[in-house]
Amino acid sequence: MRFSLRKMLAVCAALAAALAAWFLFAPQAIGGSVAYLVVDGTSMKPGLSAGDLVVVRSADGYTTGDVVAYRSPVANRTFVHRILRVEQGRFVLKGDANPYPDAARPGEEAIDGKLWVAMPYVGSALAWLAVPMHAALVGGLLVLLLSGGGGAAVQRRKRRRHAVFPAEARQSAPTSLETRSGPVFAGRWVAYALLVTGVGALAIAALGLIAFSRETTTELDRKVAYRESGSFAYWADVPPGVVYSDGRVDTGEPVFLRLVDKLRMRFEYRLLTDAALNTSGRIVLTAIVSDADGWQRRIDLGPASDFGGGFAAASGTLDLQRVQKLIAAVEHATGVAHESYTVTLAPSVDLGGRLAGVEISDRFKPALKFRLDRLTLTLDQSTPDRLAPLRTRSAQEHLLRPGAFSALGTEIRVTALRRITVAVGLFLLVVFLVIAILRARALRRGESFRIEARYGHLLVPVSPSAPEALGPLVDVATMEGLARLAEPGNRPILHSERLGAHSYLVEDGGVVYRYSTGGGQPTDPVHEEEEAAARLRLLRHQG
């Protein structure tokens, strides 16, 4: 057997294409690297929807943010979810639309692969075709489409071969029924339709490539700023005298222990923000007594209380005599006495909720310190803004928003663009293939069929009945040349057929021009006589 270079190259190209197809599309079940899955839930919306066909490929490694398919031993099924983080070699995964992570913590051996391509609605279409009744219906329609339609055209052509077109009919009806029912799929418009659908399919494919190369979700960090402020106050009622002339100890003043037994304390909390808030929390006020060696004792000034919104307050009474007795007991037990101790007013505010839709969880713990000696309780002057603490914070949220494609001032979601390009691309591809198949079938019928398709509006079928010699006869080399004589004046092209040979004639300036299929002049004398008779009728019609 002889092999040409072209055949060898074709075999090599076929082998290369087969290897590439195996590498790219071979399923894991037969040793490939690809797995095909159909989405049947809503946990990955908006990126993936029920009915989408998902193609995943095995990878050397997986990291945070990857969308992977994994086999869950908990639910005994395969999920397509996103990796949140990696903990001790195990993956924590969650669906984009799920509020909580998955219960399973699979290892890399349980992961089938990372998302490669997602084809919207294709999975639903395949499931529909999997039904035997649906598959039989589609197969029958394809058979009818590819094999039907030709017989009717052949019967019309047979009837036209024996039709006589008299001059009277030509004058009254310039366009015949036979011309209108010509071989549609061999005409010029079909070539234009193929060009338009082909270019459209390529444009849609380019747009689809852009859509499938973009992420269906966009990661976004959203921050909402807010401020937390506090306000400390303390006071006590005492007999008026030389120390407290108005009979009251106010915030900022020293507290003399001989005159004050109990000190009222209060802390107010405010959440300051321009964002809409939906928050709540709990506040508690305590006092902590400590020394320089690290000893300390906590004293609750009141029970914890819940609050809603952006304001809370807590108050209580500090029993100074109790504090002094506690310090005396510690000094007696340890044998260590200090000149002074520290009393810290320590409120604690636990805050939760949402600011402008962003989740917030925070704790605010300012402190107001006092110096306590044998005679006085005074404010610690080393802390600036000690009576009105303030801090600026921000709530941050990690969002997954639908990816979008912008062009010409419009914006469309990537998922919607993928669905549109797949649907329109498949439609254009089907139209292109159907037209191409039908056109190929039409063109295989021979040159006369193509001539009828292109110049059917000028053709007049004739069937001569009597031979008459008339004028010179000139053969032309191509049908296009003959048509150039007929088209300017809209002259008819007479068409006759005998024994499979077709002749086309046009009269111009007393000369009859002829084109015959096969390129030669017919040798059948009877056919010559029929053509002469046809020429005579043509001249009489035009005269």
234 and 383 share one domain: yes
Residue 283 lies in a domain: yes
Q: Which residue has the higher pLDDT, 9 or 58?
A: 58
CATH number (domain holding residue 71): 2.10.109.10
536: enclosing H helix or E strand:
helix 525-542
* DSSP classification of residue 403: P
User: Which of 76-80, 346-350, 402-406 is predicted least confidently?
Assistant: 402-406
Among 105-109, 127-131, 156-160, 509-513, name the one with the lowest average pLDDT.
156-160
pLDDT digits (tens, 9 = 90+) for 141-192: 766 655 544 444 444 444 444 333 344 333 333 333 333 333 555 555 666 7
Q: Please tell me whether residues 464 and 431 are part of one structural domain.
A: no
Which pLDDT belongs to residue 404?
A: 77
Q: Which pLDDT does position 251 carry in this prediction?
A: 92
Instruction: Tell me how far the alpha carbon of residue 381 is from its chain's centroid.
Output: 61
Domain shared by 430 and 470, yes or no:
no
Q: Are residues 379 and 411 in the same domain?
A: no
**Beta carbons within 8 Å of 64's beta carbon, 6+ residues apart:** 83, 84, 85, 86
Q: CA 468 → CA 530, 536, 538, distances in Å?
A: 8, 7, 12
Q: What is the pLDDT of residue 176?
A: 37
Q: What would the two tokens of residue 247 be? A: 């009979």
In the chain, the amino acid numbered 535 is R
Has residue 13 been placed in a domain?
no
**Closest to 92 measured CA to CA, from 68, 61, 76:** 68
Kindly indicate the confidence band of residue 318, based on its pLDDT and cuts at 50, 70 and 90: very high
- Quick check: 290 pLDDT over 80? yes
Confidence of residue 408 (pLDDT cuts 50, 70, 90): low
Of the two residues 456 and 105, the one the predictor is more confident about is 105
Single out the residue in 119, 137, 167 at which a domain terminates.
Answer: 119
pLDDT-derived band at 284 (thresholds 50, 70, 90) equals very high
At 524-536, the pLDDT tens digits run 444 555 555 555 5
Helix/strand/coil (H, E, C) string of 402-436?
ECEEEECCEEEEHHHHHHHHHHHHHHHHHHHHHHH
119-123, 296-300, 425-429, 533-537: least confidently modelled range: 533-537
pLDDT computed for residue 476 by the predictor: 87
Residue 502's φ and ψ, nearest 5 degrees, are -115, 140
**Which of the pair, 42 or 298, is modelled with greater confidence?**
298
Most confident range, picked from 186-195, 314-323, 414-423, 475-484: 314-323
Same domain, residue pair 37 and 61: yes
Residue 17 lies in a domain: no
Identify whether residues 465 and 509 lie together within a single domain.
yes
3-state secondary structure of 202: helix
Residue with the larger pLDDT of the pair 445 and 79: 79
pLDDT score of 242 more than 80: yes
Query: What predicted TM-score, i.e. pTM, was given to this entire model?
Result: 0.43
Length of the chain (residues)? 543
Domain boundary among 443, 467, 498: 443
Q: Which residue has the higher pLDDT, 267 or 423?
A: 267
Looking at residue 445, what is its pLDDT?
63
Same domain, 207 and 259: no
Q: Is residue 188 assigned to a domain?
A: no
Q: Is residue 3 part of a domain?
A: no
Is 70 exceeded by the pLDDT of residue 467?
no
pLDDT value, residue 420: 85
Per-residue pLDDT, 540: 56
Give CA–CA dist 363/393, Å, rounded: 11
Mark which of 420, 443, 466 sits at the end of a domain.
Answer: 443
Number of domains in the chain: 4
For the segment 350-396, what is each residue's pLDDT rounded down to a tens digit? Answer: 999 888 878 888 899 999 999 999 999 999 877 666 899 999 998 87
Q: Which amino acid is at 65?
A: G
DSSP 409: T
What residue numbers bound the domain in which 67 lies? 25-119
Can you give the pLDDT at residue 125? Answer: 80
- The verdict on 430 and 454 lying in the same domain is no
pLDDT at residue 525, as a whole number: 47
* Higher pLDDT, residue 17 or 421: 421
Together in a domain, 460 and 386? no
Asked if pLDDT for residue 521 goes beyond 90, the answer is no
Q: What values do phi and psi take at 51, rounded to 5?
A: 100, -10
- Which one, of 312, 373, 370, lies nearest residue 345 by Cα? 370
Residues 236 and 357 in one domain: yes
Q: Which of 33-47, 472-486, 498-512 has the lowest mean pLDDT?
A: 498-512
Residue 358, in any domain of the structure: yes
Using alpha carbons, list the distances in angstroms from residue 7 to 16, 17, 19, 184: 14, 15, 18, 36
Average pLDDT, the chain: 78
In a domain? residue 138 = no
Q: Is the pLDDT of residue 413 over 50?
A: yes
Q: What is the pLDDT of residue 383?
A: 65
Stretch 469-492: mean pLDDT, rounded? Answer: 79
- Does 353 lie in the same domain as 285? yes
Which of 287-291, 357-361, 437-441 reaches the highest mean pLDDT? 287-291
Query: Is residue 189 in some structural domain?
Result: no
Instruction: Tell me: do 254 and 364 sit in the same domain.
Output: yes
The alpha helices in 233-276, defined as continuous H runs, are none
Q: What is the DSSP string of 306-318?
A: EEESSEEEEEEEE
